[in-house]
Amino acid sequence: MDIATIWDAANSRGDWAVPTAAGFMRDTAGRPVIGVDGFAVGSSQAQATGLIAGGDIQTAVLLSLFTDAAAGPDDVIPDGTDDPRGWWADPTIGSKLWLLARAKRTPQNLQLAIAYIRQALGWLTADGAASAIDVTAEWQAGGRLAGRIVVSHPTGTTAVPFDYAWKDLA
Protein backbone atom coordinates (compact mmCIF):
# COMPACT_ATOMS: atom_id res chain seq x y z
CA MET A 1 0.00 0.00 0.00
CA ASP A 2 1.25 3.49 -0.83
CA ILE A 3 1.43 6.50 1.45
CA ALA A 4 -1.69 8.60 0.87
CA THR A 5 -1.15 11.96 -0.82
CA ILE A 6 -3.82 14.59 -0.29
CA TRP A 7 -4.47 17.84 -2.17
CA ASP A 8 -5.02 20.94 -0.05
CA ALA A 9 -7.02 23.10 -2.49
CA ALA A 10 -7.15 26.09 -0.15
CA ASN A 11 -3.34 26.30 -0.19
CA SER A 12 -2.77 24.81 -3.68
CA ARG A 13 -0.39 22.10 -2.53
CA GLY A 14 -0.15 18.37 -2.03
CA ASP A 15 1.20 16.65 1.05
CA TRP A 16 1.38 13.31 2.78
CA ALA A 17 -1.42 12.58 5.19
CA VAL A 18 -0.46 12.48 8.87
CA PRO A 19 -3.04 11.71 11.57
CA THR A 20 -3.48 14.13 14.45
CA ALA A 21 -4.32 13.60 18.09
CA ALA A 22 -7.82 14.85 17.28
CA GLY A 23 -8.32 11.76 15.13
CA PHE A 24 -8.28 13.36 11.70
CA MET A 25 -6.02 15.49 9.56
CA ARG A 26 -6.37 19.24 9.44
CA ASP A 27 -5.11 21.67 6.82
CA THR A 28 -3.13 24.80 7.69
CA ALA A 29 -6.36 26.68 8.39
CA GLY A 30 -7.50 24.03 10.89
CA ARG A 31 -10.21 22.53 8.64
CA PRO A 32 -10.51 18.72 8.38
CA VAL A 33 -8.89 17.34 5.23
CA ILE A 34 -11.50 15.52 3.18
CA GLY A 35 -10.49 12.44 1.18
CA VAL A 36 -11.87 11.43 -2.21
CA ASP A 37 -14.48 9.34 -0.42
CA GLY A 38 -15.98 12.53 1.07
CA PHE A 39 -14.98 11.74 4.66
CA ALA A 40 -12.37 13.33 6.90
CA VAL A 41 -9.03 11.58 6.63
CA GLY A 42 -8.81 9.81 9.98
CA SER A 43 -6.19 8.34 12.24
CA SER A 44 -7.85 4.93 12.03
CA GLN A 45 -6.04 4.63 8.69
CA ALA A 46 -2.62 5.36 10.22
CA GLN A 47 0.09 2.78 9.83
CA ALA A 48 3.05 2.13 12.12
CA THR A 49 5.01 4.77 10.21
CA GLY A 50 2.63 7.48 11.38
CA LEU A 51 1.64 8.23 7.80
CA ILE A 52 -1.77 7.39 6.42
CA ALA A 53 -1.64 4.64 3.81
CA GLY A 54 -3.92 3.99 0.88
CA GLY A 55 -5.29 6.12 -1.88
CA ASP A 56 -2.96 4.62 -4.48
CA ILE A 57 -4.99 5.88 -7.45
CA GLN A 58 -5.56 9.32 -5.89
CA THR A 59 -1.82 9.65 -5.24
CA ALA A 60 -1.00 8.63 -8.82
CA VAL A 61 -3.48 11.18 -10.20
CA LEU A 62 -2.22 14.02 -7.98
CA LEU A 63 1.42 13.34 -8.79
CA SER A 64 0.63 13.10 -12.49
CA LEU A 65 -1.33 16.37 -12.55
CA PHE A 66 0.72 18.55 -10.25
CA THR A 67 4.22 17.55 -11.32
CA ASP A 68 5.38 19.72 -14.21
CA ALA A 69 6.08 17.89 -17.45
CA ALA A 70 8.75 19.43 -19.63
CA ALA A 71 7.59 21.91 -22.23
CA GLY A 72 8.13 20.93 -25.83
CA PRO A 73 10.07 23.04 -28.33
CA ASP A 74 6.84 24.61 -29.64
CA ASP A 75 5.33 25.39 -26.22
CA VAL A 76 5.22 28.99 -25.00
CA ILE A 77 6.64 29.33 -21.47
CA PRO A 78 4.16 31.54 -19.53
CA ASP A 79 6.73 33.37 -17.39
CA GLY A 80 8.76 34.48 -20.42
CA THR A 81 11.86 32.46 -19.48
CA ASP A 82 13.37 29.58 -21.40
CA ASP A 83 12.96 27.15 -18.45
CA PRO A 84 11.09 24.10 -19.80
CA ARG A 85 10.70 22.66 -16.27
CA GLY A 86 10.15 18.91 -16.07
CA TRP A 87 11.94 16.30 -14.00
CA TRP A 88 15.52 15.70 -15.10
CA ALA A 89 15.20 11.92 -14.77
CA ASP A 90 12.08 11.71 -16.93
CA PRO A 91 10.75 14.94 -18.46
CA THR A 92 7.59 13.16 -19.69
CA ILE A 93 6.26 12.59 -16.15
CA GLY A 94 3.64 15.09 -15.03
CA SER A 95 1.34 17.45 -16.87
CA LYS A 96 1.64 20.57 -18.93
CA LEU A 97 -1.10 22.33 -16.95
CA TRP A 98 1.56 24.79 -15.76
CA LEU A 99 1.79 26.14 -19.32
CA LEU A 100 -1.74 27.51 -18.87
CA ALA A 101 -0.96 29.38 -15.64
CA ARG A 102 -1.47 32.78 -17.30
CA ALA A 103 -3.97 31.65 -19.93
CA LYS A 104 -7.36 33.26 -20.36
CA ARG A 105 -10.50 31.37 -19.42
CA THR A 106 -11.63 30.42 -22.90
CA PRO A 107 -13.38 27.30 -24.18
CA GLN A 108 -10.25 26.51 -26.23
CA ASN A 109 -8.00 26.67 -23.16
CA LEU A 110 -10.47 24.51 -21.22
CA GLN A 111 -10.22 21.86 -23.92
CA LEU A 112 -6.42 22.20 -23.89
CA ALA A 113 -6.41 21.72 -20.10
CA ILE A 114 -8.53 18.57 -20.46
CA ALA A 115 -6.13 17.29 -23.14
CA TYR A 116 -3.15 17.96 -20.83
CA ILE A 117 -4.91 16.07 -18.03
CA ARG A 118 -5.66 13.08 -20.26
CA GLN A 119 -2.09 13.08 -21.55
CA ALA A 120 -0.68 13.18 -18.00
CA LEU A 121 -2.87 10.25 -16.91
CA GLY A 122 -2.39 8.16 -20.05
CA TRP A 123 0.26 6.04 -18.36
CA LEU A 124 -2.38 4.62 -15.98
CA THR A 125 -4.16 2.82 -18.82
CA ALA A 126 -0.92 2.05 -20.72
CA ASP A 127 0.48 0.31 -17.61
CA GLY A 128 -2.79 -1.50 -16.84
CA ALA A 129 -3.45 0.34 -13.55
CA ALA A 130 -6.71 1.64 -15.03
CA SER A 131 -9.09 0.41 -17.69
CA ALA A 132 -10.62 3.84 -18.36
CA ILE A 133 -10.25 7.47 -17.30
CA ASP A 134 -13.06 10.02 -17.56
CA VAL A 135 -12.24 13.73 -17.20
CA THR A 136 -14.71 16.57 -16.72
CA ALA A 137 -13.66 20.16 -16.06
CA GLU A 138 -15.06 23.66 -15.92
CA TRP A 139 -14.00 27.20 -15.16
CA GLN A 140 -15.06 28.40 -11.73
CA ALA A 141 -15.06 31.78 -10.03
CA GLY A 142 -11.70 33.23 -9.15
CA GLY A 143 -9.98 31.88 -12.25
CA ARG A 144 -9.96 28.30 -11.01
CA LEU A 145 -10.09 25.20 -13.16
CA ALA A 146 -12.08 22.55 -11.33
CA GLY A 147 -13.28 19.14 -12.27
CA ARG A 148 -13.41 15.48 -11.55
CA ILE A 149 -11.45 12.51 -12.77
CA VAL A 150 -13.00 9.06 -12.55
CA VAL A 151 -10.52 6.22 -12.85
CA SER A 152 -11.90 2.73 -13.52
CA HIS A 153 -9.52 0.07 -12.24
CA PRO A 154 -9.58 -3.63 -11.26
CA THR A 155 -10.91 -2.95 -7.74
CA GLY A 156 -13.66 -0.54 -8.82
CA THR A 157 -13.63 3.18 -9.55
CA THR A 158 -11.96 6.10 -7.85
CA ALA A 159 -13.24 9.65 -8.24
CA VAL A 160 -10.63 12.35 -7.73
CA PRO A 161 -11.89 15.93 -7.54
CA PHE A 162 -9.32 18.53 -8.45
CA ASP A 163 -8.94 22.25 -8.80
CA TYR A 164 -6.03 24.25 -9.94
CA ALA A 165 -5.25 27.88 -9.15
CA TRP A 166 -5.07 30.00 -12.26
CA LYS A 167 -3.79 33.52 -12.69
CA ASP A 168 -6.75 34.76 -14.68
CA LEU A 169 -5.75 37.67 -16.89
CA ALA A 170 -9.07 37.84 -18.79
Domain boundaries, the chain: 1-54, 58-165
Give dist(CA 69, CA 151) in Å, integer: 21
Give dist(CA 93, CA 9) in Å, integer: 22
CA distance to 77, 90, 128, 162, per residue, from 100 (Å):
9, 21, 29, 16
- The pLDDT confidence band at residue 169, using thresholds 50, 70 and 90, is very low
- Tell me the pLDDT tens digit for each residue of 28-69: 556 666 555 555 555 344 333 455 555 678 888 888 988 999
58-165: CATH topology is Nuclear Transport Factor 2; Chain: A, (3.10.450)
- Tell me the pLDDT tens digit for each residue of 86-115: 988 887 789 999 999 888 889 999 999 999
Look at residue 85 in the predicted model and tell me its pLDDT.
Answer: 93
